[in-house]
Amino acid sequence: MRVVFVAIGDELLRGESREGNGAVLADLLTSRGLRLAQVRVVPDDFAAISRALSELCEPPGLVVVSGGLGPTDDDFTRQAVAFAVGVPVVCDEDVLAGLRARYAKVGREMHPSNARQAEFPQGSQVLANEYGTAPGFALRHPAVQAVASDPERVPSSLIACFPGVPREFAGMLADHLDRLLAEAGVQDAATLAKTRRREVTLRLFGIPESDMQGVLTGLPHYRSVAMRSLPTFPEIRLKLAELDDAAGYDAMLAETRAALGWRIYGEGDHDSHAAATLRALQAGGLTLAVAESCTGGLIGHLLTEVPGASASLLLDAVVYANSAKTAVLGVPEALLASHGAVSEEVARAMAEGVRHCSGASLAIATTGIAGPDGGTASKPVGTFCLAVADARGTRSRQLSFVGLDRSRWKRVVAHSALAEVRRAALGWADRPPP
Amino acid sequence: MRVVFVAIGDELLRGESREGNGAVLADLLTSRGLRLAQVRVVPDDFAAISRALSELCEPPGLVVVSGGLGPTDDDFTRQAVAFAVGVPVVCDEDVLAGLRARYAKVGREMHPSNARQAEFPQGSQVLANEYGTAPGFALRHPAVQAVASDPERVPSSLIACFPGVPREFAGMLADHLDRLLAEAGVQDAATLAKTRRREVTLRLFGIPESDMQGVLTGLPHYRSVAMRSLPTFPEIRLKLAELDDAAGYDAMLAETRAALGWRIYGEGDHDSHAAATLRALQAGGLTLAVAESCTGGLIGHLLTEVPGASASLLLDAVVYANSAKTAVLGVPEALLASHGAVSEEVARAMAEGVRHCSGASLAIATTGIAGPDGGTASKPVGTFCLAVADARGTRSRQLSFVGLDRSRWKRVVAHSALAEVRRAALGWADRPPP
């Protein structure tokens, strides 16, 4: 039981693009209770590809290959796989007709070189590509069985080749992986169905990874699940997977939700903190205004990445200069002079000002010291203030993140503001639970 | 002459983090006229590491290893390298004393497990780490020379091990790579000095990569340089490297600058389009105000990633709702009703409004249709308008990018706005050259 990955491409070895398909395969395998044994990156070179395939084909197993399926002369994957397995490359007339039809449909003539995309090592099964033009293919190695009457007696590997374009690779892998794993003998279909345990991806913000680990290890059913955390600063994706104990998985999931509470903002690989914030606003029938100083527009940017943000977001006033705080939001000059721009008093005036001039039902404001300059003894670099203004009044607090560079600090402050909006929109207590 | 890379770490094969050190090494080698022959990612497993090293040590060559140098029980790199080479692991007392001193300096006691970071395969040279605690090491393989009187007669490889933490790996590699290449016999110092050609990284915005290639291939000295382009949407990093013809390199560099003109905004790996925009404003003694609709705060975010942005940026009004355009910027309701929010007329009113209420000398405004909804026959999804207002008056234009998802479209529109500000601040003609 062995799965390996080979990425083919000179561009990956010249520092022009970064290999990322291996991580996609690794994640899908881990979700299935399997493990990727090795990744190799090799150049667009016939000998290098053939040699890697020969070295890696330890049956039974699955060799996943990405790249080198394009129509140009430096795309060698078909030839190298055919050579390694010992079969010729042949044209698949059905695929060729499909390619021609595809070009005809958009009113273009197919360049002869594109016909190469219909060529495969003899005996291959074609892997449909719903995301681009070049299909993939899978081929058993060795192709010729020593015991012709009972090929199952001979251990063999399956070589499965996909285009290297990340979007196409990821889409096709999701479409074909389970069947390929079963066929490769890595796992039979029954085992695979059993191995395909339930898994949930929880999206979190508001707790350091080490603290989260401490909380989780203290839960009664901690040992009943397989757990992975994938930090994508300043958020965490926490994956919990079922083991043999289905009831234990359900219990651990419930315990995790209870223990981490509001810090879990959503679920799945495609959710975002901003989307969860907008959902909370919409659930409460609220509109939002933002006043940013230190975050410089990042809160607005995160919110407007979500389609439909305009239903909630009315205005984001990035009042970077003190004069803009006064002119646009009506923050009194005296307040700026007496408390300084980075103060809870100014944050509250900003939130109230932007709520007033936008007519939004809920407003959030940020002001802080991003650095590298501007810190003082009482308010060092990293200090910031948040204020929320809504129908219940105005609340504020002063917080600090130290030791982060400017860019990371902006991100964690912007996400802190999103968390504050979400909590306020959901009507939760202003301060996080202890 | 062969350089290979081995990344060690279970997390890289479980989809928890993405291998990126190989690309850093590949880029440094390519800059030196060398090529990375292969990348392997293997788990934290003694046998897997030893086997990869044995297979990859084809002398003469350099095997660069990252990861597995930490203080925990699953860090096997030292042992596996020692095993592959056939030497014991020994403690370096100088390094140990240095580690102890480092902990003492911050007032903490060193945990005994950290002493492992002072252990190396016998005969290693220690590679100083200015970026973290664990030093690296380099070791010749085979360690025992068959011809003791003349070890140069025996071809050998050099195995160089670095911590896997990306920041430490990148810093240490830059510090040690040239010497290691020379010692590995990949290239002697003289050849290396000769191979270490001049290379420049030009930063571009405002031209599709294929168009840029077309421009460059038409230049007289195109063949006199080695060229790589590294697209990082929506920008391009274009690397030109000297070949044997020094005068040709100088000529091609001048021709490239002349042909691409304003599209080259800066140089080097650490510049940014926003930083170049702020430099142009500062050179002109100008302050900036921004009015964003469709870009949703991204222009402000990009500008405020640059330390010192507050010297130029006074205000960024993200007026997402029409009511905010009117309330904050004084855009007449009648103008919105007659021309629609996505129109040159409204963009001009936004730019003039934000310039007026901020007191900035130069203002930029964006308004457009990000999609997926909101398009019309005359203004399909992807259409946007830019306007600049300054002491010379107000100029606007309508543009369009189609076929991009929301996030990429926002980025290219925001960068188009930065380019417009830069051109205006430099006093260049409003329209780009043909």
CA distance linking residue A253 with residue A248, whole number of Å: 8
Residue to test with chain B: of A4, A40, A318, A357, most B Cβ within 10 A: A318
Contact B13 A26 (CB under 8 A): yes
Within a domain: A279:
yes
* Residue B133 DSSP one-character state: S
Interface ipTM? 0.81
CATH number at residue B82: 3.40.980.10
Q: Please tell me whether residues B154 and B230 are part of one structural domain.
A: no
Q: Please tell me whether residues A263 and A278 are part of one structural domain.
A: no
CATH number at residue A232: 3.30.70.2860
Token duo for residue B123 = 């005969």
Tell which of B159, B177, B195 closes a domain. Answer: B195
Q: Please tell me whether residues B225 and B131 are part of one structural domain.
A: no
Tell which of B179, B195, B211 closes a domain. Answer: B195
| φ/ψ (deg, to 5) at A226 | -95, 135
Contact B323 A314 (CB under 8 A): yes
pLDDT digits (tens, 9 = 90+) for A150-202: 666 667 889 999 999 898 999 999 999 999 998 887 555 556 555 567 889 99
State which residues form the domain around B55: 3-195
* pLDDT value for A261: 92
Q: How far is B302 from chain A (nearest CA, A)?
A: 8
DSSP, collapsed to helix, strand or coil, labels residue B122 as coil
Please tell me if residue A282 touches chain B, with a CB cutoff of 8 Å.
Answer: no
Q: Please tell me whether residues B154 and B64 are part of one structural domain.
A: yes
Within a domain: A432:
no
B 393-432: CB under 8 A from A: 406-407, 410
Q: Are B342 and B367 in contact (CB under 8 A)?
A: yes
Please tell me if residue A27 touches chain B, with a CB cutoff of 8 Å.
Answer: yes
Within a domain: B351:
yes
Q: Please tell me whether residues B178 and B41 are part of one structural domain.
A: yes
Q: Please tell me whether residues B316 and B260 are part of one structural domain.
A: no
Q: Please tell me whether residues A263 and A372 are part of one structural domain.
A: no
User: B307 to each of A212, A407, B134, B274, how far by Cα in Å?
Assistant: 32, 10, 31, 11
Per-residue pLDDT of chain B (434 residues; tens, 9 = 90+): 689 999 999 889 988 888 999 999 998 998 887 889 999 999 988 999 999 998 888 777 899 999 988 777 677 899 999 998 889 999 999 999 988 888 887 777 777 778 888 999 999 999 999 888 889 999 998 766 656 666 666 678 899 999 998 989 999 999 999 999 988 875 555 565 555 678 899 999 998 887 888 899 999 999 999 888 877 889 998 989 888 899 999 999 999 999 999 999 999 888 999 999 999 999 999 999 999 999 999 999 999 999 999 999 999 999 999 999 999 999 999 999 999 999 999 999 999 999 999 999 999 999 999 988 888 888 999 999 999 999 999 999 999 998 788 999 999 999 999 999 999 999 875 545 43
A 313-372: CB under 8 A from B: 313-321, 323-324, 327-328, 357-359, 370-372
State chain A's mean pLDDT as an integer: 89
pLDDT digits (tens, 9 = 90+) for A140-152: 987 666 566 666 6
Please tell me if residue B226 touches chain A, with a CB cutoff of 8 Å.
Answer: no
Please tell me if residue B170 touches chain A, with a CB cutoff of 8 Å.
Answer: no
Within a domain: A408:
yes
Tell which of A194, A211, A236 closes a domain. Answer: A194
Q: Please tell me whether residues A95 and A153 are part of one structural domain.
A: yes
Contact A359 B36 (CB under 8 A): no
Residues in chain B: 434
Report which of B379, B415, B422, B395 is spatially closest to residue B208, judged by C-alpha positions.
B415
Q: Please tell me whether residues A164 and A223 are part of one structural domain.
A: no
Residue in A with minimal Cα distance to B309: A320
Q: Please tell me whether residues B223 and B172 are part of one structural domain.
A: no
Within a domain: B180:
yes
Domain count, chain B: 3
Smallest Cβ distance to B298: which of A35, A38, A297? A297
The predicted model scores a pTM of 0.82
Q: How far is A327 from chain B (nearest CA, A)?
A: 7
Report which of B422, B24, B19, B405 is spatially closest to residue B234, judged by C-alpha positions.
B405
Q: Please tell me whether residues B227 and B249 are part of one structural domain.
A: yes
Q: Please tell me whether residues A221 and A294 are part of one structural domain.
A: no
* Range with the largest mean pLDDT of A32-36, A249-253, A405-409, B154-158: A249-253
Within a domain: A309:
yes
Within a domain: B171:
yes
Residue to test with chain B: of A301, A325, A405, most B Cβ within 10 A: A301
CATH number at residue A378: 3.90.950.20
- Beta strand spans in B233-329 (E): 235-242, 264-267, 288-292, 313-318
Within a domain: B434:
no
